Amino acid sequence: MAQRKLGRGVAIVGAGMSPFGTFARMATRDLFVEAFLDMRGSVDKGLDPDDIEALYVGNYSSDLFEGQGHTAPLMADWVGLTPRPATRIEDACASSGVALREGIIAVASGLYDVVLVGGIEKMSNLPTGEVTDALATAGDALYEIPAGFTFPGFYAAMATAYMHRYGAQSEHLIQVTQKNHENGALNPKAQFGQRIADIMEGKKERAAAKGRPVPEWESEMAFFHDDRANPMIAAPLRLFDCSPISDGAAVLLLVSEEIAGQFTDEPIRVIGSGQASGRALHDRDTLTSIPAAQRAGQMAYEMADVTPDDIKLAEVHDCFTIAELIAIEDLGFFAPGDGYKATEDGMTARTAPRPVNTSGGLKSKGHPVGASGAGQTVEVFKQMRGLAGERQVAHDVDVALTHNVGGTGQTCAVHIYERGQA
């Protein structure tokens, strides 16, 4: 079945986000307002909020994290959009990638010209164990969770299979972490915006200040193999293989392509959108790739009429280090089993022709799950527009991609963007 085109073109003309981190004194609505204001400031020619016709907001589970359901109209109210239609989209950690797709579809349908797309999550209210339990509900609550699985365990199973099949070592996983922290150190909104060397130095300083033995590591890899500094979470995944528990919000402004010039002379056109579903991990044929990601990627490439080689920058879903390696293979950037070698060779670094996760990725920037997909698009918007500050890549990013996964791959949304002219 050939991938159909959208009824009309859609462009992103504004993008913003709150800092990602843990904010004890803020509720989801506060983070959303912050992201909204940041987005508003990014619209070159200004935005009258009255022109916004609808809101789609991705949110995994404010129900479980915050005791607050029915979040969409609440977000609409707090940025002054009442009585505009406000719809919450939930597809686990792909919630706002899918919300973006719904926003695109809504503009393409002709019903709206101006749509706000958001992503939100406030996870830090709960103790870590309860966050883990809440996230586990994105698996299969009848067939997987009773067997003891939580998300580090799911991805540990994928990592084990990948390492066994392709010969990757734990060092290859951690190279993803090193790269993403290197990038995140240049992102002022990142939750853990420090290079690994700085994290090591900080640990030494804090030990000295407390009069404890100052740890010494021969190398970064020695640090990563230190069970105290980097404890095992679910073998082979250690702490630094895992994205953090985060609070945050991200917001995008979508308009029909015909009117993009009213907002900016540099619209970011959405030229490809793919979404696919997958079975729960226990019922899947493979652990070393995510079929829904492969299919969503194919859909997006076909709609955009580009190939993986055309992509000049990608933000992919590195909820765990293994997830980035699988992502860059599923997207066709590298052949199956070559992702870890390519990473080792620096082919995903910020200075490479097709850098991956220049924002710091979910690992360093943070992973407020329902906000992560929209957050990826914020990075693409900034890099394509030359607004990424210290982490701005040197080459021209005319075409870019985002890859947002829900659960272990029961959902994937892939989008492809092209810098247009109004």
Asked if 78 and 60 touch (Cβ cutoff 8 Å), the reply is: no
Q: Which of 243, 290, 288 is nearest to 410 (CA)?
A: 290
By beta-carbon proximity to its own copies, the closer residue of 265 and 305 is: 305
Q: Which long-range contacts (CB under 8 A, 24 or more apart) does 329-338 make?
A: 329/289, 330/289, 330/290, 330/293, 330/294, 330/297, 330/403, 331/293, 331/297, 331/401, 331/403, 331/414, 332/297, 332/301, 332/307, 332/308, 333/308, 336/166, 336/288, 336/289, 337/165, 337/166, 337/167, 337/288
Can you give the length of the chain in residues? 422
**Least distance in angstroms from the C-beta of 216 to its own copies:** 44
Residue 170 CB, nearest approach to its own copies (Å): 29
Dist. CA 296–CA 402, nearest whole Å = 11
CB of 95 to its own copies, least distance (A): 9
CB of 365 to its own copies, least distance (A): 22
CB of 342 to its own copies, least distance (A): 26
| 93/200 with CB nearer its own copies | 93
Residue-by-residue DSSP string for 119-186: EEEE-TTS-HHHHHHHHHTTS-TTTTGGGT--HHHHHHHHHHHHHHHH---HHHHHHHHHHHHHHHTT
Cβ contacts of 376 within 8 Å, gap of 6 or more: 97, 315, 316, 317, 359, 402, 403, 404
- Alpha-carbon distance 266 to 276, whole Å? 30
> Judged by CB, which is closer to its own copies: 47, or 342?
47
**Which residues are tagged catalytic?**
93, 367
| Cβ at position 348, least distance to its own copies in Å | 26
Q: Is 232 helix (H, G, I), strand (E, B) or coil?
A: strand
Q: Which is nearer to its own copies, 200 or 254 (CB)?
A: 254
Radius of gyration, CA atoms only, the chain: 20
In the complex with its own copies, which residue's Cβ is closer, 35 or 99? 99
Q: Shortest CA distance to 299 belongs to which of 278, 270, 274?
A: 274
Instruction: Rank residues 42 and 377 by Cβ distance to its own copies and give the closer one.
Output: 377
Nearer to its own copies by Cβ, of 112 and 224: the residue is 112
CB 360 within 8 Å of CB 180? yes
List residues near its own copies by CB under 8 A: 1, 4-8, 27, 53-55, 59-61, 63-64, 66-74, 76-77, 81-92, 98, 101-102, 105-106, 108-112, 134, 137-142, 145, 275-280, 283, 291-292, 295, 406-407, 410-411
CB of 252 to its own copies, least distance (A): 17
Triad 177, 279, 285: Cα angle to 5°:
80
